Every structure is written in C-alpha cells, then in structure tokens.
Structure 1
C-alpha cells in the first residue's frame, strides 16, 4: 500500500461530523492505522466550549510545538504516513507548516465544500470595522505566501478536489499553487449524501417547505473567530413572522432543518412551535416542495435534487453581517433564483422553475466531476490510499 498510516491534524477537537466527513472509520476498516492530532492548545486558549468526540479514534492532544515535533520524529516510517490537514491554509498555520516542512511530511488537504461567494469589500471599506486580530493574520498570511514562494514552506503533496473550483476552499492559494501537486477528484460531502439517497423511494413529497437553518445569531464559530453577528431577539421574531406569511401564501407548513450546532433548539422554542429536525437535511430536502435559505452550504442538497430555492435576507442582516447579505444576493444571481427581504411584507416571489443550466454549472464547479458523480468519495479515497505507487 502507498500509505500505512493516516494522521489528521486540526486546531479543534475531533467532532462526530469530522470523524464521518473524513472517512476515519472506513480508513481503519481498510487496514490503515488512523490517528487524530488535536492541536487546539497551539492555537486557542480554551476548548471547553467545543464538542470533543476524541473517543471515536486514537487521538493525541498536542500541547506544545516541542511535543508536536517529538511526535513527528517518533514515527518509525514517516514516508508511509499521510498527514491530512483539516485547517484553512492561511497565516495562523505558519509555525506548524514550517515544522511539517522540516521533516518533509507527506501533506494533503481536501479542497471541497466550496460555494460561490460574493466579493469582499476592499480593505479601505472595511477599515472602520476591522479588528486587530484580523490585521495581524493578514500580515501573517502575506508572510506565508512569501515563504511558500521561496520554498521555505512546502506545498501540499496531494489535494483532493471536489468540483473544478473546490480548490478555493483550501485557503490563500490560486491556480498556480496547484501546479506540480498530485490532484485527486472527489465529491463534496453534501453530494456524497445525495448519492446515498437519490434512488431511494420518497415516503412523502411536497407537503412542506424547508428552511435551511444556520443558527445565525448563535453559531459558536462567531465567538471562536470573533465574527460580528446579529442579535437573536432581532432575528427570530422577524423570521417567524415571515414564515407565517409563507405558510399562508402556499398553504404548507415550514419545517426547520436545524444546524447541527444549534444546541439551544433542543431545549428552547425559537420557531413558534414549528417542527425542528436535526441531522436529516438531505432527506428533508428530497421531499420538500421548495427550500428557503440564507447562504447555507446545505443549498448543495436542493441543487442536487433540482429543488426551487428562495433566498432571504433582512435589513438587520445587511447592517449586522453584511457578508451574509451579499452572499444571499450572489447565490440568487448565480443560480437564477429570487431573493427577498423578510422584513418587507411583499408576496413571496418564488421562481416558477429552476434554471437547469445554472444548477448544472454549480454542480460541476462545486460538487462533483464527470468522473466521480456516480461514485462516493469514501471509495475513491480508500482506493487511492491503498494503491501502490
């Protein structure tokens, strides 16, 4: 086999989703050794508020760069080890990647689960709201690019790409970065989930409208990465008022596909008694009449199932988290869908039919390829790991 051991590295504790999305169980069943190196202590002061599912696989919690180096050096057959980075390639990883470069570790990354994002404001436009941490990381990122160009930090040896534009999800790279790197075509997570269900019979269909929830005011990443957000007391009442109008116009209930991190939904009623469902977004999408969304990556599902999508924003979102607002408009334009301010009282302007050409373009740009669209990534990945050079 090409590799005997896979080491996943990340600056957060292991979660059940990461365990599943990166095929750790399948890799172990294929006969390869698997470890997860939790580098949280190298990047954050505390991880007490994060999910920790480290019991799912052999996990090492690394507390210093010295300890990390000792673990790398202790690998008896380093040339047969593949490191898979589950981190964004940007300024904060400089010290880590210098160490991986020092020992010429075989390094790989998944470039997938990307979607069309609206262009960012210029630095001058953002300067009033910019944080010191953002400025520091911007300079670190420029330094990282310089070190890569000088050959002092190695490029990835292998990239697993979902869609022709999946590479955009890796971090601060461009197409030139990919030259000379081994590329393996795979699918997005959501497209793989779609493959599992696309040929199954539907139990029921078209008797509800689905909202792809993002836990928008309460998402823990906004705290972790110091991201500006909107207030829950502004967001949920306005959203529920909008759903009331949607239900009246279409004579169908709105069902909430809960974000997996929306833990407060399990004990509090944020949606005025509406049905809230966890971990069934793909099934719910397949059977929905149409889908309502902001800029959730879960729009992969309605695109795969050829469902109408209605994008929503609000004045509070525009003023509080403008990037989400601009993504909503960009999504709608990219896919040929409509968008609406939920704080307006206009009739819901759902499209009459989907734009097949736009949906297909999205599919091959961000979800899959002609070579992989009928094969799950888990099989592609395992076949790659086990093949001989």
Structure 2
C-alpha cells in the first residue's frame, strides 16, 4: 500500500503547496516529498530557481542527473506514488526514463486548455517565420517521437492522469481520474467562507505582470511579451477611457509573482492574493489571457479581453482565442479608437467553457482535486501493481 507521495516539479511555491493538497495528504498520514529539478532543466536561468522553504515538507534539489537517480534509489516502488508537474518532451526525457527504470508509479494533471485557434494562414506563417526555432523544434520533436515509437519498450506513458473531461482523453492504457480544475478548488474554499454575493462599485483588472512574465523564457522566446514602457502607457490610457465610460474606478488584482516597488498603474490601487474575491464582487473584469478567467466563468462576470499589436504575436493570438471561447473579440488597445461593442454575457458560451475546462461532470459531493486524487490512489495501485 502507498505510504509516500513524491512531487516532481521545476517550480514549487506556497500556492503549489496549497493546490496540490500537501497539508491534506500529511493529515491522512502520508509522507510527502518534493524533488525540485529546476536547476537541471534550466541551469542558467536563475529566474526559475526556487527559494521556498516548508518546515513540514522535505524539498530535495539534485544538482546533477546522477544525484536525481540516486534519490530515486531510496524509494520503494511498491509504496510510492509520484506526481509530475513537468511536461514530457525530449528535453525532459531523462527524468521520465528514470521513473520507469525504477518502476515508480507516476502521473500528472492533464486539464484541458482552450485551443489556440489560428484560423488566419498569414498569422500561421508569421508565427513560424518570426520564431524560426519553432520549426526546428517541431522537426526535432517529430524524430524524437518516431524514435520512441521504434523503440517500443521506451515509449513512456503515465500510469494515471487527473483530467477535467474524460471524453477528451482516449488512451485506454492510462488510468483516468476525473477532477475539477484548480480554480474550482479555490471557488469552493472561498464560497465556504464568503456567502454574500453583493457586487461592489469597481472594475477589476487581472494583472499578469506582462513585461516581466517568464512564459517567453519557458517556451523559448528570447524576448518579453511586451516592452515595458509601451505596455503601461497603452494600458493606463485604456484604463482612463474605461473609468470614464463606466464611471467606476479600476482596482488591480496583482499577479502573484509580481514585485511592484513602484506603482506602474498611475496610482491605481494594487491588491495582491485576492483575485477570486476581487472578481466575485466586481462589476466588470478586464483580462488578457490569465487562468483567472475561470473565476470570471464561475461567477458569470462581464469581461473585456485586452490585446495590443505591440504584444508578442503568440501572446496576442492566444488572447484572441480565449476571447472567442466567450463569443467576444479582444480589444486592441494600441488603437486609441477603442471599439467596445459588447461587454454582456453569452450564457451558452460561459456554460460551455465551464463544462470543457473547469468541471465536466456533476455529482452530489464537491471534492477538491487532491481529495479526488486521494480517493483514487488505492485503485491506481491495485490496477498497476497487480
């Protein structure tokens, strides 16, 4: 029977501690350990290095692949379950190969993300030409996957996956655990403590700290999502327009990892770690491409999606795709003649988004994602070990 859960990750924060339910697992008598491989994946990127410390959690940080292998040697594959939060690709192949070599049961979250629908062929060509390394990367991945298929014994797949919509996951070899998205966990926690639903007179902007966001580095872009001075100039001009149009003040729901030593939003109020509350009680939400759009869906809030021709092309296209999921067009704030034709709610679109990306099933009990995972662990072990 399982006794220990290992979390294999490249980034571990207080938010990860909470969303993965480590406190819950420890209360159930399970030993929890974190293997932080950020140094191995990005040895030259200090931005990825974790400084998080938890008194009740052992965090291991191997500096070499050999150290990683030695750590796995200490585990008994018959009572350990590994949860992996890194993507399986040719760059990370070694870690998955080692898990298989040690016969350690492992799995991951595979929640649906809205598709990046690029219907314009010109944009497709521009995207590939602007980031030529994508073409090289796709070729490399193709031959890597072909290599794995030819070497059937090394075709590595997870033992289990936590999914929010089983219909979209066809691989019968993988044990599937149907669970709501993390945002639904936050929603349940918040609603248990905050029953009132009366709106307040403000508009909330979902900050992503766009000029300093690490996503470009993660995905290999050698640039920022937008140049800092341009980003804040366009955004604040748009905020002035919105505040005048709706006669409401805008509050900034700060990005969790942002560190604002000075206020770039022209003295507008910045609030940290209160995003779900700010969305729930707002009159209107301004958003780019944040996963906080799940809160917009759960509370059925009016939303305006913001893009700019000065944003990184891939980022701009992703904002446009997200807006389409809600039946909207993103507003281009690089054009001062803002065209806000509709900030209303398309009930059917919101309902579809909820079913496709947040919670695709109904049951009598609202369990957190990690509680659902815990309930299925015995079945995972029985199915795989036996």
Normalising by the smaller structure, the TM-score range is 0.7 to 0.9
CA contact (8 A) 2:112 2:356 kept: no
Answer yes or no: is the 8 Å Cα contact 1:242–1:343 preserved in 2.
Answer: no
Segments of 5+ residues of structure 1 without an aligned counterpart are: 168-174
Distance 1:133 1:66 in 2: 30
Q: TM-score, normalised by structure 2?
A: 0.87
Find the partner of 2:161 among 159, 162, 166. Answer: 159
Q: Considering only aligned residues, what root-mean-square deviation do their CA atoms show, in Å?
A: 2.6
Match of 1:271 among 265, 268, 272: 265
TM-aligned CA distance change 1:193 to 1:31, over 3 Å: same
Is 1:135 paired with 2:136?
yes
Structure 2: 5+ residue stretches without partners: none
* Residues 162/250 of structure 1: CA separation in 2 closer, same or farther (3 Å cut): same
Distance of 1:283 and 1:190 partners within structure 2: 13
| Equivalent residue, structure 2, for 1:170 | none
TM-score using structure 1 length: 0.87
For residues 302-381 of structure 1, the aligned pairs below 5 Å read 302-317=296-311, 321-346=312-337, 349=340, 351=342, 353-371=344-362, 374-381=366-373
Shift of 1:311: 0.8
How many pairs were matched up? Answer: 372
Q: Is the 8 A contact 2:111 2:163 kept in 1?
A: yes
Distance 1:145 1:183, change over 3 A: farther
Preserved CA contact (<8 Å) 1:212 1:298: yes
Q: Where does residue 283 of structure 1 map in the other structure?
A: 277
Match of 2:65 in 1: 65
Distance in structure 1 (CA, Å) of the matches to 2:77 and 2:302 = 49
Deviations 1:85-127 (A, max 9, x none): 1101222111221212222210110112623333497986444
What is aligned with 2:101?
A: 102
Alignment of 1:1-389 (within 5 A): 2-12=1-11, 14-46=12-44, 48-49=46-47, 50-56=49-55, 57-75=57-75, 77-112=76-111, 114-119=113-118, 125-130=126-131, 132=133, 135-136=136-137, 139-140=140-141, 142-144=143-145, 146-147=147-148, 150-164=152-166, 175-176=169-170, 178-198=171-191, 200-202=194-196, 205-227=199-221, 228-229=223-224, 230-263=226-259, 265=260, 267-317=261-311, 321-346=312-337, 349=340, 351=342, 353-371=344-362, 374-385=366-377, 389=382
**SS of the residue aligned with 1:151?**
helix
